[in-house]
Structure 1
Amino acid sequence: MSKIPAIFSDPPTALLLEIGQTIYNDSGSDSHRPGSSGTSLGGGGGQVHSMGGMQMNLRKRAAAAALGIGLFGGMIMSPAMAETLKIGVVAPLTGPGATWGIAMSEGAKIAAADVNAAGGLDVAGTKYQVEVIAYDDQYKAAEAVAAYNRLTTQDGVKYIMTLSSASTLALKDSIENDGVIAVTGAYSQKIIDDKSKYVFRAFSTSHNFLPPFAKWMAENRKERHLVILNPNDETGWDQSQLSEKSFKDAGFEVVANELYERSQKEFQPLITKIMALDSDVIDFASSPPATVGLFVRQARELGYKGLFIKTSASGPREIIEAAGGKEPVEGMINLLFLDPAKKGDYERVAALYREHIGQEPNEILAPYYDGARSMLRAIAAGGDVNDTAKVSAAFKTIFPADSVLGDQLNYGPQQILTTHYISEVRNGEPVVIGKVQ
């Protein structure tokens, strides 16, 4: 295994939190749609575009933070003296999927702030200040294509993070042809194939953890009559097929496998149909947390008494909020990216998120922070920011590695392999009751 560059050695958490807040929290909003003229702020001390006097202020703060971290032996260098490395984010920053998209954008910016606070990313002796540019694709493939084109042609980006399956599939050929490194949260099995070289998944997906979870459900729960609900798009189609096969193989009867539009907010007709099927468990699969909360509230109001489960990209806090309180969600089983009882470095990362965004993060922040950090590690290990083929080859050499929670991250073909936790909502809080790997 290749040695991880020294830039990733960890300074004391308290100082890093203070420095991260100095650089990162002063950033304002840097997300905007591809066609807009909105502002863009590089995460963690990158350049500020079209923001006047704030640019000089931010540079002064970043320089001071770099000086402070220099006490621990890091190279003392102000952002003005360093080269710039740009990371693009293409994700839904508005609409039903925004809780995931904002987690991706902020995770990348916090990872960038950490590296910048330590003097920059050391790539073969050259220090780079990392700038994050995020565009809102609104969960639409066409918007993702526009964002990608702007990032690669106007912004000069060679490294990106993408979120949805539909968006990533629309970009897949361009990513491979252009030699752009992409770390993605997309679940579709079509994203990665034998020809993939530049696309890497940020975490284990349903294809890794859903079959063992379905087996766990069969061994630990009495419910057997399942309804599967997914949004009517590439992500939902892929998840729908996988869920049905996984649960059938585990001994469940799938009484319905339904799709709905992502913009849908009223579910009474669908709920009435489901209640007539005498189902005792509903899996929301790849549905956004806010949508799940609306459905749960309406289902309970109509008298549905069955179990709710969420097997993909969960968010218990957002579900409870959208459901109008903890009572409708009590007992819900979720698959989580983290164990809420574990702290690790995630407590610091979440604190920075709260300070900047003003609300609790979706727990998918953890693997997106790890994904961005892994990309930066691979760039450093590759030794040349302009040679993405070298960075691609170096990606597998940086594992195993510690996650932000202290778990171990491993490498699979074009993918970071992560642990998922099984939780049950009890009195409004997710409590871990098992895990799958």
Structure 2
Amino acid sequence: MRFRNVLMAATMGVGALVAMAPQAGADTVKIGVIAPLTGGGAPWGIAMDQAAHIAAAEANADGGLDIGGAKSKVEIIAYDDQYKAAEAVSAYNRLINQDGVKYVVILTSASTLAIKENIESDQVLGLTAAFTSKSIDENTHYMMRLSSIPINYAKPLANWMAQNLKERRVVIVNPNDETGWETAKFDEEAFKAAGFEIAGSELFDRSQKEFQPLLTKIIAMNPEIINVGSTAPSTSGLIIRQARDLGYKGLFVKTGGPGPKEILEAAGSKEAVEGVVAMAFADPGTEGFRRLAGEYSKAIGQEPNQMIAPYYDAINVLLHAIEKAGTVDDTAAVIAAMGEVLPMPSIQGGELHHGDRQILSPIFVTQMKDGEAVVVGSVAVTE
């Protein structure tokens, strides 16, 4: 299925889920989702939206959340920020001022930073997937990271690569935005510490589709590895395809934002992506992930991006924390309760742990073999 057909299916699926959502009222827990549901980041955004709907449907199947002895249904309201900070601000204002939301899940770094001060002043509980470490600081009280980010896994991931790959000369490539800057910073530090040689670090506009001039420059640096960092999956595939067309024979690695199926589709062939090594937030072979993938496929018509696993886990933690706190309106009590409900099981097995205003999620390593992303290792995340 081509990507625009996936987006049509996603829109239909989301529309159907919203139509089935409980009517607004005092007995309803509303959770907003701000994520790119169109464009290059859509595989991540649709995964986030559907993870929220799946978790909500499971809670509602049991009558809703048990809050102080009364049942409260869960409603998900999602808006497309198109990977743009300005759109995120508009979406946030609609969620808070029109929809009456007290809990917001945000995908991107730019969107998180754009609404961070509003979340604090409005005392809205925010769960962010942002890679930037700037999302949390000493003035942050109502924001929590929903998964491990580069600061948690970059060094152990680089160490794993140093132990398992023979190549050593690396060029790092990232989008020219907050997510890309953060990924490039931590990757460069981690790869150097692990004994790799950094031949260069390049940035590009996230909307860019033509990479021959940039890749010509990169290939002239004689890299053995090109790390596409936090580049969107479909764009990563374009970079791989165009690099192969220019004669690059070396290895690709991806240290952020996985999406092997989208990378393969954009790259055009199994041969182009053979051997690609990437971090992953999921092990698709686990029973829990297969269940999530099945629910996603019912709504969307294809397999989910692997990010669905930490998104689902984080929203599940939030729902448990609301029950633990015994309140919907007191978001400070709910965010405190998140530390009390952790550690708790991940959908994939193992445990989620509580870090410094963060859920620490497991990180895996995959390698593309005959068109499939095969789990070949895991890394221990650190705070």
Deviation at 1:147, TM superposition (A): 0.5
Deviation at 1:337, TM superposition (A): 0.8
Q: Residues 102-159 of structure 1: CA distance to partner in whole angstroms, max 9, x if unpaired?
A: 0001100100000001111111111111110000000110100010011001100000
Distance 1:43 1:283, change over 3 A: farther
> Taking every aligned residue pair, what percent have the same amino acid on both sides?
52
Alignment equivalent of 2:297, drawn from 336, 354, 357:
354
Q: Specify the code of the residue in structure 2 equivalent to 1:429.
A: E
Distance 2:43 2:165 in 1: 30
Deviation at 1:346, TM superposition (A): 2.2
What is the Cα-based RMSD across aligned positions, in Å? 1.8
Answering whether residue 22 of structure 2 is matched by residue 46 of structure 1, we say yes
Q: Residues 277-298 of structure 1: CA distance to partner in whole angstroms, max 9, x if unpaired?
A: 1111011110000000011011
Answering whether residue 312 of structure 2 is matched by residue 369 of structure 1, we say yes
User: 1:422: which partner in 2?
Assistant: 365
Q: Residues 60-90 of structure 1: CA distance to partner in whole angstroms, max 9, x if unpaired?
A: xxxxxxxxxxxxxxxxxxxx9x811111000
Answering whether residue 243 of structure 2 is matched by residue 267 of structure 1, we say no
5+ unaligned residues in a row in structure 1: which ranges? 1-24, 31-38, 49-79
Deviation at 1:195, TM superposition (A): 2.2
Distance 1:26 1:309, change over 3 A: closer
Contact preservation (8 Å) 2:17, 2:53: no
Q: Residues 346-402 of structure 1: CA distance to partner in whole angstroms, max 9, x if unpaired?
A: 222211111101111001000101111111111111111011111111110001111
Contact preservation (8 Å) 1:44, 1:130: no
Distance 2:131 2:19 in 1: 26
Distance 2:172 2:51 in 1: 30
Answering whether residue 252 of structure 2 is matched by residue 308 of structure 1, we say yes
Q: Specify the code of the residue in structure 2 equivalent to 1:195.
A: N
Larger radius of gyration: 1
User: 2:377: which partner in 1?
Assistant: 434
Distance 2:259 2:201 in 1: 22
* Secondary structure of the corresponding residue to residue 277 of structure 1: coil
User: 1:144: which partner in 2?
Assistant: 88
Structure 1, 102-111 or 216-225: larger mean CA deviation: 216-225
Distance 1:212 1:414, change over 3 A: same
Deviation at 1:327, TM superposition (A): 1.1
User: 1:386: which partner in 2?
Assistant: 329
* Secondary structure of the corresponding residue to residue 133 of structure 2: coil
Deviation at 1:220, TM superposition (A): 1.8
Alignment equivalent of 1:254, drawn from 195, 198, 207:
198
Q: Residues 38-80 of structure 1: CA distance to partner in whole angstroms, max 9, x if unpaired?
A: x6953863349xxxxxxxxxxxxxxxxxxxxxxxxxxxxxxx9
Answering whether residue 91 of structure 2 is matched by residue 118 of structure 1, we say no
Deviation at 1:194, TM superposition (A): 2.0
Number of aligned residues: 372
Answering whether residue 75 of structure 2 is matched by residue 99 of structure 1, we say no
User: 1:204: which partner in 2?
Assistant: 148
Distance 1:106 1:191 in 2: 24
* Secondary structure of the corresponding residue to residue 42 of structure 1: helix
Q: Residues 2-56 of structure 1: CA distance to partner in whole angstroms, max 9, x if unpaired?
A: xxxxxxxxxxxxxxxxxxxxxxx999444xxxxxxxx6953863349xxxxxxxx
Distance 1:386 1:341 in 2: 38
Distance 1:47 1:284 in 2: 44
User: 1:8: which partner in 2?
Assistant: none
* Secondary structure of the corresponding residue to residue 348 of structure 1: helix
* Secondary structure of the corresponding residue to residue 227 of structure 1: strand
Structure 2 matches for 1:168-183, cutoff 5 A? 168-183=112-127
Structure 2 matches for 1:190-201, cutoff 5 A? 190-201=134-145
5+ unaligned residues in a row in structure 2: which ranges? 1-8
Answering whether residue 197 of structure 2 is matched by residue 221 of structure 1, we say no
* Secondary structure of the corresponding residue to residue 73 of structure 2: strand
* Secondary structure of the corresponding residue to residue 190 of structure 1: helix
TM-score with structure 2 setting the length: 0.94
Q: Residues 205-234 of structure 1: CA distance to partner in whole angstroms, max 9, x if unpaired?
A: 111111011112122211111011111111
Contact preservation (8 Å) 2:48, 2:311: yes
Q: Residues 179-203 of structure 1: CA distance to partner in whole angstroms, max 9, x if unpaired?
A: 1011111010100112221111111
Contact preservation (8 Å) 1:40, 1:133: no
Distance 2:279 2:57 in 1: 29
Distance 1:340 1:388, change over 3 A: same
Q: Specify the code of the residue in structure 2 equivalent to 1:433.
A: V
Q: Specify the code of the residue in structure 2 equivalent to 1:45.
A: A
Q: Specify the code of the residue in structure 2 equivalent to 1:194.
A: E
Distance 1:43 1:435 in 2: 40
Distance 1:281 1:27, change over 3 A: closer
